[in-house]
Structures are given as C-alpha cells and as structure tokens.
Amino acid sequence: MFKISVTPRFGDIDGLRHVNNNIVGIWFETGRNDIFRFFTPNLSLSYEDWKLIMVRTEYDFVGQIYYNEDVEIRTYVLKIGNSSFTLGHEAWQCGELKAKGKAVLVHFNFMEQKSVKLPDDIREKLSQHLINEEDIGKE
C-alpha cells in the first residue's frame, strides 16, 4: 500500500465549508504516482513514454473532509488482469475514512492504439501491493 499526505487548500473548500468532492479525484490521482513510476520511471508525459490509460473511476463519499486537517491518501492494488489492473483508493482524515474509490488502468501502446500485456516484472511489483477485500477501509 502507498500512503501520501495532502493538505487541503483554502481554494479546495466549497460553499458548504468542506472539501469539494471533485478535489478527492485529484488527490487519488496523485496517490497513483508511485504506480505510474512502475511503468514510466521518469514520469514523462510524452506519448512515446507514457504507458497507461484510465478506463474507469468511481468514488464513494462517506464523510465530509474539512480544511483544518491533513488527509491521508492510501493507494493499493485490488486486481491484476492480463493488460489491466484495478487500484483502490481511500481518503482518511482524523482517523476516519472519508472517501473511497477505484480506478481501472490499462497498459496501453498509444502509438499502436491497443492494450499491451502487463510485463512480468511490473506484475510482480503490482502484486506486492495487492490487498485483501477484508482489509479495505480499516485503520
């Protein structure tokens, strides 16, 4: 599992005085950076180097996130397929789960516009962060 800490910015707050739901997706994307490095170690954004495409995201908001405390973003692997994998994300604030989500990414060749089988070395790295369903949402 990967963990990062984010500090809500004043501009992340909406009219209801909590972190806007759209911000959580941005935080979850930031939480994927360590996974991105498995595929593109220098995080190049050129088509020649970038190897992933997002095909699905979903989020559940289970509590309000506020401005005054940092948020821990947890990222882990839920499933590994032939060319795709599913990541899980959680946002925790003050010891409470506030949001959770999933993202499905595909190993993709942009020049040929087709999916590519996950290499064995990357599959091994992903499997080191595989989490059991029973452990999701636990402190």
- Residue 32 sits in a domain whose CATH number is 3.10.129.10
pLDDT, one tens digit per residue, over 75-85 is 999 999 999 99
Residue 105 lies in a domain: yes
d(CA 101, CA 52): 18
Residue 96 lies in a domain: yes
* pLDDT at res. 98: 96
Task: List the beta bridge partners of residue 97.
Answer: 92
Task: List the beta bridge partners of residue 121.
Answer: none
- Report residue 22: phi and psi, to 5°: -65, -25
* pLDDT at res. 47: 65
Residue 82 lies in a domain: yes
* pLDDT at res. 110: 87
Name the residue range of residue 33's domain.
Answer: 2-134
Residue 139 lies in a domain: no
- Which residues of the chain carry a pLDDT beneath 70? 44-47, 133-135, 137-139
d(CA 86, CA 102): 7
Residue 115 structure tokens: 């999916």
Residue 120 lies in a domain: yes
